[in-house]
A and B are shown apart, each in its own frame.
Chain A
Amino acid sequence: MAVKNFVVASFSDEAVLFPAVKKVRTAGYKIHDVYTPFPVHGLDHALGLRETSLHTAGFIYGITGTTTALSCMSWVFNSDWPMNIGGKPHFPLPAFIPITFELTVLFSAVGMVLTFCYLCQLAPFVKKHIFHPRQTDDLFVMAIEVTPKTNAEELKSFLASIGGQQINEQRAETGWWYGSFAKDDRVFETKRVEAVNA
């Protein structure tokens, strides 16, 4: 986790956002992230993000569930406590299938939700920096990292020229930290946005 400088611009519409993303990337600036009020189709491609490996994780959780169910049930009914149930064999595979299926789904679903939360850094009792309080309401907020090569003033005027609004500079922690949105100052009061040049 690191504290970095950002130039933040807001966009009012998807139709303005997409060309802006393209222009910013062509100009060679490093986009930290774009925050949108709703999932925007194709934005991941426009940002050049690599495809998520969440589904690979899901597959691994799934086969873990399958293995757990089958090995647990066959251990119970074959070696730990063999029982004669309706004259069926001790390894009645058809009877095991529904539970195996359920555990496969359960493991992959719960595992994927938790992995997703981890990847997005979402959890109870943690906080993340919010670049603009309206990023969950009606604004598309783009945060561009200020690297040693970046000229912040040039970048600001460039963003203004491609449709960015409320352009400002922020110094913020990129990761999550222990805390609560409810306890600390409320996010819609924009006090925590510390403008560097102010």
Chain B
Amino acid sequence: MKDQFVVPARLKKTSFVLMGIGLLTLLIGIFAFHGEHGSARLWAGLLQNSSFFLLIALASTFFIGATTLAHGGWQIGFRRVPEAISMAVPVLGGILFLILMIIVFGGNDHIYHWLNAHHVHEDKVLSWKSAFLNKGMFTGFTLVTIGLWVLFTIKLRNMSIEEDGWDLSAATGRRIIWRNTVWCGGFIVIYTLSVGSTTPWLWLMSIDSHWYSTMYSWYTFASTWVSGISLIILFLVHLKRNGYLPMVNEEHLHDMGKLAFAFSIFWTYLWFSQYMLIWYANMPEETAYFQPRVWGEWRPIFFLNLLINFIAPLLYLMKRDTKRNYSSMVFISILIIFGHWLDFWQMVGPGTYGHLVFPWYEAGLGLGFVGVIIFLVINNLAKAPLVPKNHPYLKESIVHHT
């Protein structure tokens, strides 16, 4: 049994090429974008990509947390895959923190309007919000949330590797379940209070600092969670194609496909709820958010977003056969990740640089982040055996049948 992943040289080279493309795009961006609006696009692109890719890597930690708390056994056979993806969180978290700090302490008020003290002073809404939207609060929240995510992610990974050296006795099994449940419980609480609540408000919603929506955080969560599931599927299929994970088969893939299907619909539910409440109330301070997106330049992106992220997965993943086929799952996973990347683009773009532009810069940076993720994940996959052999639920995963 091939239990130890060996980093494939070609994939490693690909990841370096992608990272090179990202760095090159960033350099071109630095020279190409001048002035206030130029710097808005420069930093908006970085903010959009780093927050998106951090949150989809974090979705893997959430995957481990949620399945552990539900006492799921079916995912144990490939648990090392989300673990390896989640190990990208420390690096991506560091990158995002750096970017956010440069934006905030560089006083880039084209990204965050609330950074401009003069505007805030004259603006009633912003001055009321300033108790929450200020540099100290922003930095504190960001530091605490990213720090806790990194802490819990590393802890869950280390526990899993440590358990490989234990034995298969019943007492050990109970101990494994117990401590994983405790740590995952802690993580879920933190994840929900951050990604499900304050974090997207601060990082993304405060771009349109007059506007607010109570759906926004859940919307962001749904977006990154379904992309995170797709990312797990991509690495799973890559491992299967190279002869690893003999205990994982189309039954497991089928369940991952069901999750992608269900959460695509969940995303649409939130997308629609956010839109419909604002459309119904028709209040100017709320509709301002949708004006550029639905009736302005971003209209094609707005509807393309719905097409890729709802109609396509709904019709494509509805059939059983597509969920059990490796190639078709790769196709839809890439489509979903691209779709939600577009979604993040239309969340960040209109409020920062405004005009709809061809996203060569954003896409180039995105490829760079994809390279970073590939590089980190393959290296982390190679650091530990691919099967957590002492986990008491491993048998459930082997005999799993959807």
Residues in chain A within 8 A of chain B (CB atoms): 41-42, 51, 55, 59, 86, 94-95, 97-98
Q: Let me know if B212 is at the binding interface, CB within 8 A.
A: no
- Selected contact of A94 from candidates B279, B318, B320, B401, CB within 8 Å: B279
Closest chain A CB from B121 CB (angstroms): 37
- List residues of chain A with CB within 8 A of the CB of B272: 94, 97
Chain A residues with CB under 8 A of B279: 94
B contact residues, total (Cβ < 8 Å): 9
Query: Is the Cβ of B401 less than 8 Å from the Cβ of A41?
Result: yes
14 more contacts with CB within 8 A, not counting A51-B320, A95-B276, A98-B276, are: A41-B401, A42-B401, A55-B320, A59-B318, A86-B280, A86-B282, A94-B272, A94-B275, A94-B276, A94-B279, A94-B280, A95-B280, A97-B272, A97-B276
Within 8 A of A (CB), among B275-300: 275-276, 279-280, 282
Complex CA gap A42/B401 in Å reads 8
Residues of B in contact with A (beta carbons under 8 Å apart):
272, 275-276, 279-280, 282, 318, 320, 401
Q: Mind listing 17 A-B residue pairs with CB under 8 Å? A: A41-B401, A42-B401, A51-B320, A55-B320, A59-B318, A86-B280, A86-B282, A94-B272, A94-B275, A94-B276, A94-B279, A94-B280, A95-B276, A95-B280, A97-B272, A97-B276, A98-B276
How many whole Å from A88's CB to the nearest CB in chain B?
Answer: 8
| Whole-angstrom CA separation of A55 from B275 in the bound complex | 31
Q: How far, in whole Å, are A86 and B282 apart by their CA atoms in the complex?
A: 10
Q: B401: which A residues are within 8 A, CB to CB?
A: 41-42
Residue of B nearest to A87 (CB): B282
Q: Which residues of A contact B320 (CB under 8 A)?
A: 51, 55
A55 to B280, CA, bound (A): 35
Taking CB atoms, residues of chain B closer than 8 Å to A41 are: 401
Determine the residue in chain B with the shortest Cβ distance to A95. Answer: B280
Q: Is the interface of B mostly helix, strand, loop or mixed?
A: helix
User: In whole Å, how far is B258's beta carbon from the nearest beta carbon of chain A?
Assistant: 13
Distance, CA A86 to CA B281, complexed state (A): 9
Q: How far, in Å, is B293 (CB) from chain A's closest CB? A: 14
Residue in B closest to A45 when the chains form the complex, CB atoms: B401
Contacts of A51 in B (CB 8 A): 320
Can you name the residue of chain B whose Cβ is closest to the Cβ of A56? B319
Whole-angstrom CA separation of A41 from B320 in the bound complex? 17
A98 vs B269: C-alpha distance when bound (angstroms): 10
Closest chain-A Cβ to B160's Cβ sits at a distance in Å of 28
CB neighbours of B276 from chain A (8 A): 94-95, 97-98
* A59: B residues at CB distance < 8 A: 318
Distance (whole angstroms) from the CB of A95 to the closest CB of chain B = 7
Chain A nearest CB from B82 CB (Å) reads 25
CA A41 – CA B318 in complex, angstroms? Answer: 21
Instruction: Give CA–CA (A94, B278) in the complex, Å.
Output: 11
User: What residues of B have a CB within 8 angstroms of the CB of A95 in the complex?
Assistant: 276, 280
Point out the residues of chain A lying under 8 angstroms from B318, CB to CB.
59
In the complex, A59→B317 CA distance in Å? 13
Per the bound structure, the CA–CA distance linking A94 and B275 in Å amounts to 8
Residues of B within 8 A of A94 (CB): 272, 275-276, 279-280
What's the Cα separation between A176 and B256 when bound, in Å?
A: 40
> Shortest beta-carbon distance, B310 to chain A, in Å?
12
Residues of chain B contacted by A42 (CB below 8 angstroms)? 401
A97 CA to B318 CA in the complex, in Å? 20
Q: Determine the chain A residues whose CB is within 8 A of the CB of B282 once the complex forms.
A: 86
CA–CA, A90 to B77, complex, Å? 54
Shortest B270–chain A CB gap in Å is 13
A55 to chain B minimum Cβ distance, whole angstroms, is 8
Q: Which residues of A contact B280 (CB under 8 A)?
A: 86, 94-95
Give the top 7 A-B pairs by smallest Cβ distance, nearest first.
A41-B401, A94-B276, A94-B279, A42-B401, A97-B272, A94-B275, A97-B276
Residue of A nearest to B401 (CB): A41
Query: What residues of B have a CB within 8 angstroms of the CB of A86 in the complex?
Result: 280, 282
B309 → chain A closest CB, angstroms:
16
Measured CA separation A139–B290 after assembly (Å):
62
Nearest residue in A to B400 (C-beta to C-beta)? A41
Closest chain B CB from A153 CB (angstroms): 37
| Nearest-neighbor residue (CB-CB) of B319 within chain A | A55
A51-B318 Cα distance, complex, nearest whole Å: 15
Please report the C-alpha to C-alpha distance between residue A52 and residue B78 in the assembled complex, in whole angstroms: 30
Smallest CB gap from A55: residue in B: B320
Give complex CA distance A39, B279 in Å. 47
State the Cβ distance, B395 to closest chain A Cβ, in Å.
Answer: 14
Q: Complex: how many Å from CA A86 to CA B279?
A: 12
Report A-chain residues with C-beta under 8 Å of the C-beta of B275. Answer: 94
User: Taking the nearest CB of chain A, how far is it from the CB of B249, in angstroms?
Assistant: 13
- Measured in the bound complex, the distance between the Cα atoms of B319 and A59 in whole Å is 10
Measured between alpha carbons, how far is A86 from B280 in the docked complex, in Å?
Answer: 9
Least CB distance from A28 to B in Å reads 27
Looking at the assembled complex, report how far the CB atom of B323 sits from the nearest CB atom of chain A, in whole angstroms: 12
Closest to A97 in B: B272
**Cβ of A100 to closest chain B Cβ, rounded Å:** 11
A184 CA to B328 CA, complexed, in Å = 54
Q: Closest Cβ of chain A: how far from B33's Cβ, in Å?
A: 37
Chain A min CB distance to B402 (Å): 9
A65 CB, nearest partner CB in chain B, Å: 15
Q: For residue B294, give the distance in angstroms from its CB to the closest CB of chain A.
A: 11
CB distance from A194 to the nearest CB of B (A): 38
Chain A residue with Cβ nearest B272: A97
- What is the CB-to-nearest-CB distance from B155 to chain A, in angstroms, rounded to a whole number? 35
In the assembled complex, the Cα of A95 lies from the Cα of B276 at a distance in Å of 7
